[in-house]
Structure 1
């Protein structure tokens, strides 16, 4: 038994060694151990048909190679195959040629080891794997370990909507919409429903590619919950004669404290003492809230139940209830609701009627007293003598003098 286990162990080790040799040899075959040239560039890039692609690129040669910046240096792009010697027909661009197969131009300074390239008038057939090569006679080498995969799409890429901060009411968050900008010479134009004519910024990324971005800072409230942000990216293509547009949408999910808290009663009409009624507490809250019921007493409000619904028996006296809704962001209290029986209502009506009658009688008595006093005052006021063409004398004793004259 032990010998069988030992044989199986040897077979497993041998198989693992063979697999290791296979994968290592494959890796070495795909990428030589000591290539003469390396480039720093994105591994995968996407572009839009009808537009251009800026390829950020820097290279370095092996220290022991005889690359001299003083010598004339040419940059070469090879499609599909990295083996220049075996497949020279795959050369699609050479900076020493006057006419090239592909519309490319090296905009970087090769003497400063900058191989940045502008690939213009792209079409979907340009989707392929590309290798960069340097010719600095007698130094010549291809960056065999650094292939560049370029994918040319016929439709515009969708922009990205990002939100920094917590989606809670009263919190300030920065909302941004960004779109990849493979061709900085013809960047996309971003628009959205958060503001009109937003300012578009073109930012350089860490890998030397570019992104177009718009952003806005807002203070959240419960009204933003469920609001859908829509952002569109419009790319000019074919030298601006056409445009291609893509849109992205994102719906906000904002948390907020309870709002619009109220209490309803069923049945809503007057009921007799001893009958049961159902109280319902309504509110808007996110995340979901808990419900508590309170009854007014001489010692203040006391909690009598939990839950959205509460059934209570109506008594012969008036009882006051309200609910409190609570979640992690806060709470809100409803207004008081009065529970009273029909008998209690009738008694209150009788007292109200009696009080109203007494007030009416008092008003009538006061009015009569005022009228009587006014009549007496008018009766006691002496009439002023009237005489045409005679002047009324206001001096004391003037009336007696006139009377004596007659």
Structure 2
């Protein structure tokens, strides 16, 4: 397959039904092709099949306004080759393979070699707990982090844990343009922490005010120095 358009985006993404998905995306055209940022540029998302001529009905969104079957919005600046997209009001029926297409007449191309697999789940992901040291010993200072996938940074999960009930979680951007929400606490270990069960919950806001929650637990094992 000879593609004239390439996108930099995750290959696979997961999202939660009733929430949204931020798709980080940048594109490049072949150097010899005539993409011109001064011309009007439209972004198109197609599902299932990259062959526009064969399946034009597979177009689910066109930023020109001609097609808006799915609740998508290109938030990036296409003239700067940023195709970042917000996919809202997700349902499990939106699970599919998607292809991005640029219309910058007369330059028109589809990123044939860069499909994006989106899977929409009904159940949230359990958060993960990470401890900065492997072998835990008394009087050792460690950093404990609870982190949760954040496909929809506009409506991030609320993290709570028993380590410090008044902690405030923060959402940060990862190097690939996706987001993670974290709680972090530094503690000095003592013998009382041996056998202590850390419990962290991630509550995701979804449409209709019905929150979805998942929990993770991890037990500390602290040895004498």
- TM-score of the superposed pair, with normalisation by structure 2: 0.97
Q: How does 1:231-250 map to 2 (within 5 A)?
A: 231-238=200-207, 241-250=209-218
SS of aligned partner of 2:34: coil
In 1, distance between residues paired with 2:200 and 2:66?
43
- Aligned match of 1:131: 99
Q: Does 1:118 align with 2:75?
A: no
- Aligned match of 1:176: 145
SS of aligned partner of 1:161: strand
How far did 1:197 drift?
A: 2.2
Greater radius of gyration (CA): 1
Q: Does 1:146 align with 2:120?
A: no
In 2, distance between residues paired with 1:61 and 1:255?
57
- Matching residue within 61, 73, 81 for 2:29: 61
Deviations 1:239-289 (A, max 9, x none): 6x1100000001111111xxxxxxxxxxxxxxxxxxxxxxxxxxxxxxxxx
- Aligned match of 2:73: 105
In 2 relative to 1, CA 98–86 (structure 1 residues): closer, same or farther, beyond 3 Å?
closer
Task: Could you tell me which runs of 5 or more consecutive residues in structure 1 were left unpaired when the two chains were aligned.
Answer: 1-31, 257-328, 330-406
In 1, distance between residues paired with 2:168 and 2:65?
42
User: Aligned-pair RMSD on alpha carbons?
Assistant: 1.0
Which segments of structure 1 move beyond 6 Å, counting only runs of 4 or more? none
Maintained 8 Å contact 2:60/2:67: no
- Aligned match of 2:167: 198
Deviations 1:301-330 (A, max 9, x none): xxxxxxxxxxxxxxxxxxxxxxxxxxxx4x
Count, aligned residues: 224
- Matching residue within 45, 49, 70 for 2:38: 70
**Larger RCO, structures 1/2 (Cα 8 Å, 6+ apart):** 2
Task: Could you tell me which runs of 5 or more consecutive residues in structure 2 were left unpaired when the two chains were aligned.
Answer: none
Deviations 1:28-53 (A, max 9, x none): xxxx2x31000000011110000000
How far did 1:98 drift?
A: 5.0
- Aligned match of 1:188: 157
More strand as a share of residues: 2
More helix as a share of residues: 1
